[in-house]
């Protein structure tokens, strides 16, 4: 497994990050343990979760993914210092007025709850899941800075921030000598590039932020399991919006390149395209079983020639 620095921090993380939104949702607890153990054995040391996973599922109170990860660490006897654990705060975790957001009160409550569920003394990367327009940025960064000084959090990052919000946060940290965001978790894949590339990519490159994109396989569309003759659009869940000619054309090229590389899967090619971008640290994979994990892991062995990267860039260019 290849390892990379997480931005300008001293953390070295695996070139693939294991996402865990599926734990306790599309992957039950025993399956989650299998995926976690297989990922660890393959060299993945970087695990991403969030306190809210997966509260949108009926009967799921949130915190289930964190709880599963915490149990696995203890059960598998994984040395804590060998793991890089990332979790997030922002989403609603209860029915009260202070049970969501990025206020000092909610973040203090949320980090303690995450530490308990994960059964750890500190979180390596604590991320704000999305910006909160109702809370001044200096309040949010102030409490995150406190958590860093208290040793409960090592580094901080953010997710789903537009460029101007990210720049506002970086400026505030610099102006007030507060811990700064060292990592961005953006939505980024071959089918949706501009959300990250238009402005955020230059910000991350210039200021040395690590980048850990989520949904690198476009919700499963770039695995090749959907086809042009798909008639049951409902089965596509959140990928049905990709059922258009542009997406099918991109998928065709991805699969063709996989064939030219000796039978590499569409997933491996799509992940390898992201790994070829020097700004990207580690795409987040969301394997819900061992077969998906094994397939995704193969991406680190795929080195796309420059002409293939260029072909993918050209075919996926957004106007």
Tell me if 296 sits within 8 A of 287, measured CB to CB.
Answer: yes
Alpha-carbon span 116 to 93, nearest angstrom: 15
Q: Residue 54: is the preceding peptide bond cis (ω within 30°)? A: yes
CA 93, 118, 101 angle in degrees (round to 5)? 25
Question: What is the spatial distance between Cα 311 and Cα 250, in angstroms, rounded to a whole number?
Answer: 10
* 56 contacts 100 by C-beta, under 8 angstroms: no
Q: Is 188 a residue of the active site?
A: no
Q: How far apart are the first and last CA of the chain?
A: 36
C-alpha span between 90 and 117 (Å, rounded): 17
Please give the Cα distance from 216 to 287 (Å, whole number).
12
Specify whether the CB–CB gap between 61 and 55 falls below 8 A: yes
Active-site residue (options: 53, 181, 188, 214):
53
**Is the Cα torsion angle 114, 39, 46, 282 positive or negative in sign?**
negative
- Burial (CB < 10 A; 0-12, 13-18, 19+), residue 240, is middle
User: Which residues does 241 contact at the CB level (< 8 Å), separation at least 6?
Assistant: none
- The residue with tokens 């909160």 is 132
| 24, 65 Cβ separation under 8 angstroms | yes
* DSSP label at residue 220: G
Please answer whether residues 79 and 38 qualify as being in contact, where contact means their C-beta atoms are separated by less than 8 angstroms.
Answer: no
Q: Determine the 3-state secondary structure of 3 from DSSP.
A: strand
Catalytic residues, by residue number, are 53
């Amino acid at each position: 497994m290849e390892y990379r620095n997480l931005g300008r921090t001293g953390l070295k993380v695996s070139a693939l990050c294991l996402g865990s939104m599926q734990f306790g949702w599309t992957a039950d607890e025993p399956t989650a343990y299998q995926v976690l153990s297989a990922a660890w054995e393959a060299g993945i040391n970087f695990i991403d979760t969030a306190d809210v996973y997966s509260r949108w599922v009926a009967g799921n109170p949130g915190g289930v993914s964190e709880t599963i990860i915490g149990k696995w660490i203890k059960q598998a006897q994984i040395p804590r210092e060998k793991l890089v654990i990332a979790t997030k705060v922002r989403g609603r975790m209860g029915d009260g007025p202070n049970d969501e957001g990025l206020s000092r009160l909610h973040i203090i409550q949320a980090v303690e709850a995450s530490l308990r569920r994960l059964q750890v003394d500190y979180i390596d990367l604590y991320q704000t899941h999305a910006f909160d327009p109702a809370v001044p940025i200096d309040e949010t960064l102030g409490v995150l800075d406190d958590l860093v000084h208290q040793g409960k959090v090592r580094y901080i990052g953010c997710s789903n921030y537009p460029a101007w919000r990210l720049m506002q946060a970086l400026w505030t940290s610099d102006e007030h000598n507060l811990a700064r965001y060292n990592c961005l978790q953006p939505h980024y894949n071959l089918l949706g590039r501009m959300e990250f590339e238009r402005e955020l990519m230059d910000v991350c490159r210039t200021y040395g932020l690590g980048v850990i994109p989520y949904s690198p396989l476009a919700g499963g569309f770039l695995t090749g399991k959907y086809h042009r003759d798909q008639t049951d659009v409902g089965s596509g869940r959140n990928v049905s919006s990709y059922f258009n000619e542009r997406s099918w054309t991109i998928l065709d090229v991805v699969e063709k390149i996989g064939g030219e590389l000796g039978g590499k899967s569409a997933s491996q090619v799509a992940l390898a395209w992201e790994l070829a971008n020097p700004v990207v640290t580690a795409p987040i994979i969301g394997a819900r079983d061992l077969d998906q994990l094994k397939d995704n892991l193969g991406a680190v062995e795929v080195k796309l020639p420059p002409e293939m990267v260029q072909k993918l860039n050209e075919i996926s260019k957004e106007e």
